[in-house]
Every structure is written in C-alpha cells, then in structure tokens.
Amino acid sequence: IPQPITSNVAMTPLNPAMKPQAIPQPITSNVAMSPLNPAMKPQAIPQPITSNVAMTPLTPAQPPQPRVSRALPARLPQAQRLSKGANAALGMQTAAANLWQNEMGTLSRRLGELRLGKDQGGLWTRAMDARLNVDSGDSRAFDQRLSGIEVGADRAIEFNDATLYLGGMLGIGHADQDFAEHSSGDIDSRSVGLYATYLQDNGVYLDTVLKYDHLKGDVKVSQNLGDQVSGHYDANVYGASVELGRQIVLADGWFIEPQAQLSAAHLQGPRYTSSDSLEVKAQDQDSVQARVGARAGRNFMLASGTQVQGYLSVSQIEELAGDSHVSVDGHALDNSLPGTRTDYGAGTALQLSARQKLMVETHYVHGSEIEQPLQVTVGYRILW
C-alpha cells in the first residue's frame, strides 16, 4: 500500500502533496518594498551628485567640472581702440611734422640751380603742393594735402674759389587732413627763416637753414548723433637743416651729384580742450630726418640760347626720432612719425634770360608707413 508523501506544506486541492522543497527566502534590501519597488537583490544606492551650482528646474545637478581658464582675446592694436577724438589728436601731431619737413625741402627745391648763369643773388619765390597717405600704426590711416608759398632774397659774396649766398625767407603753408569717420583737421603755418649757401668752384656745396614756424590747428569730429565737436590750438616749431654735396662734372655736360642732408625740428605738442570737454595734451615731439641720395643729369643749351639743366634724383630717408606721447583725458597714447621711405624725383632748371630763372621739380615718395603720390614745386628767381 503506497505511503503518503510527507511534507510540511499543507495539502490542499490546489497544492497536492509533493516532495519536500526549500522554501524561498525573502530578498533583503534597504530599499522599501512597494508595488512600484519590489524586493530585489541588495544594490548600491546612488549617491546624490555634489555641485556648487544651485539646482533649479533649469539648472539640474551636474558632476563637478574642472575649472577651465578661458584665454582672453588678443588686445586690439591702439589704432583700432581710439575714439574719433583721440585718433584725430594723434593724427594732427603727425601732420604738423609732415608739413614742416615738406616746407623745408632741399636746396634745389628752394633756390633751383644757382650755378646757371652769373648769379650774384636776387629775389625768389616758390610754390609747393603735395599729397600724402600716412599710416604710422599708432593712429588710423589718414590722407593729407599740403600747400605753401615762400618768398626770399639773398646776396652773393665772392671768394677766390667759392661763392657764399646769405639770405632770408618768409612763408605761409596749409595742411588739410582727412581722418575719415567724418573727422578732419587743418593746419595753417607762418614761417620765417635764414640760410647760408656755400658753393665751391670744384662743385662742393654746403647749405644751412634755420627756420621758425607758428602753427594754428583746428580739429573737427562728428559724433554719432551728428553733432560736430571742434578744438583749436597754437604751437611753435623750431628747426634747422644742413645739406652737403658735390656736383661732379662728366663729359658732354653730364653730371652726377651725391648729397646728404640732416634736418631736425622741435615741435610743440598740440594742447586743447574740445567743445565736448575732451582734454588733449600732446608731448613735444622731435623729428630728425637723415637723407642720402644723388642727382644725375645734363646741362645743355637750346638754340634760343636758353641754358637748361634736366635731372633725376633718388634718396633714402630715415626718421631717427619721432616718438612721443599724447594724453587724451589723462590716458597716455603712443605716437610716432613715419619712418623709412624712398624719394624719387625729376626736375628741370632754366636760365630764361640773363636775370631770370625758372625751376620745376616733382617727387614721388614711398615707404611702409607713408606714401606721397605727388609733390610739385615751381620756383622763379630774378637776379639783382
């Protein structure tokens, strides 16, 4: 007779007797068991993410991030950071030096060719016009137009083998500057000078000039709303020039003339308060230019008896000084004059009659910071 199967599980119609089995043990967990969170194997409970950023609906907690150092953008060059008024202030100081150097010129631009004819001195006049494009890097690029007239007189003193010319001159000049951005400036100059020119019969010459200029400057700047701001100043310029050369006569009227020149000027810095209370105090500026070059040409005579000299020239010019500062509302700004440039020239001098001479000279100047597309000088001399 079969024996009943023993089991510690109660036998019911739905749970018949069976072999003894292991009773499942409840799964332990420190997480409360609920209808949505049934019992499960023990697991590591996620810890809250720590952050020093406040957690909001728009700023959820996030893992700590390493502190990132963002590189600041490179500082813009000074010229790009200047206001219109500051840019014009720097440009005006550079423009004054350009005006003075162009007025000074060279011996041939001032007196033409003294060796033509029998020149015992006389009265002379010359007119000058020039256009420049300037970009020294300290202020934004600007255009400049220069013009001027000079009159003078001299007397010749004869020596055994040389002639010395002693003279004086008066001049007026004008410079217009276009700084773009509806900003402009103009400078008027009044000048007086003395000169001594020594010519030896062997072709050597020495030309010295002392010159004083008084400048009146006006600056006009349009604001963003269309209002115009203006400023006015007066300044003085003291300068000198020494030019040395030798005309070497070749065959058939040809010649070559190596020459060197050193010109220096001390310019008082513009100081003014504009109509919108912008205070500009520019440091005095020194300009020292060294020039080395040569002229080459030919002397000949026309059928009419007119003596003519035609020539070409080339020179290298270096600015040896030119650094200064301009204070705008107490902020010191660097300013420098244009540097190295090459000067190409062409000219002619004519002995119109026993007592009259005419001179025409043109120049083109090119450098990395300055270009002079055209410079024209026309001079007339009548002898005593």
Nearest to 3 by CA among 21, 15, 17: 17
Domain boundaries, the chain: 78-383
**Number of other CB atoms surrounding residue 178 within 10 Å:** 14
pLDDT of 281-304, one tens digit each? 999 999 999 999 999 999 999 988
pLDDT exceeds cutoff 60 at 313:
yes
Share of the chain above pLDDT 70, in %: 81
pLDDT exceeds cutoff 50 at 72:
no
User: % helix / strand / coil in the chain, to the nearest 5?
Assistant: 10, 55, 35
**Six-digit token pair at 1?**
């007779």
Q: Is 42 exposed, middle or buried (0-12, 13-18, 19+ CB in 10 A)?
A: exposed
Q: Which of 26-30, 159-163, 346-350, 364-368 has the lowest mean pLDDT?
A: 26-30
Instruction: Match 């300044």 to its residue by tokens.
Output: 235
pLDDT of 225-244, one tens digit each? 778 999 999 999 999 999 99
Q: Region 13-31: what's the mean pLDDT?
A: 52
pLDDT exceeds cutoff 70 at 55:
no
- CB distance 377 to 361 below 8 Å: yes
Q: What per-residue confidence (pLDDT) applies to 13?
A: 45
Nearest to 315 by CA among 108, 94, 99: 108
Sheet strands side by side (includes 324-328): 271-273, 279-282, 324-328, 331-335
Q: What per-residue confidence (pLDDT) applies to 226?
A: 76
**First vs last C-alpha separation in the chain:** 169
pLDDT of 172-201, one tens digit each? 999 999 999 999 999 999 999 999 999 999
Phi, psi of 213 (to 5 degrees): -125, 140
Q: What per-residue confidence (pLDDT) applies to 227?
A: 85
CA angle 71, 76, 80 (to 5 degrees): 160
CA-to-CA distance for 206 and 326, rounded, in angstroms?
37
CA-to-CA distance for 228 and 13, rounded, in angstroms?
109
Amino acid (one-letter) located at 203: G
Phi, psi of 169 (to 5 degrees): -155, 155
Mean pLDDT, the chain, whole residue set = 87
pLDDT exceeds cutoff 60 at 53:
no
Strand partners, 214: 190, 236
Q: Which CATH class is domain 78-383?
A: mainly beta
Q: Region 363-377: what's the mean pLDDT?
A: 97
More confident residue, 302 or 56: 302
Secondary structure of residue 206 in the 3-state scheme = strand
pLDDT exceeds cutoff 60 at 265:
yes
Q: Region 75-94: what's the mean pLDDT?
A: 90
Residues 6+ apart with CB under 8 A from 115: 199, 247
More confident residue, 55 or 196: 196
The highest-confidence range among 18-32, 39-53, 72-86, 368-382, by mean pLDDT, is 368-382
CA-to-CA distance for 271 and 276, rounded, in angstroms?
15
Q: Is 296 exposed, middle or buried (0-12, 13-18, 19+ CB in 10 A)?
A: middle
Q: Region 306-326: what's the mean pLDDT?
A: 96
Nearest to 263 by CA among 92, 69, 110, 56: 110
Amino acid (one-letter) located at 58: L
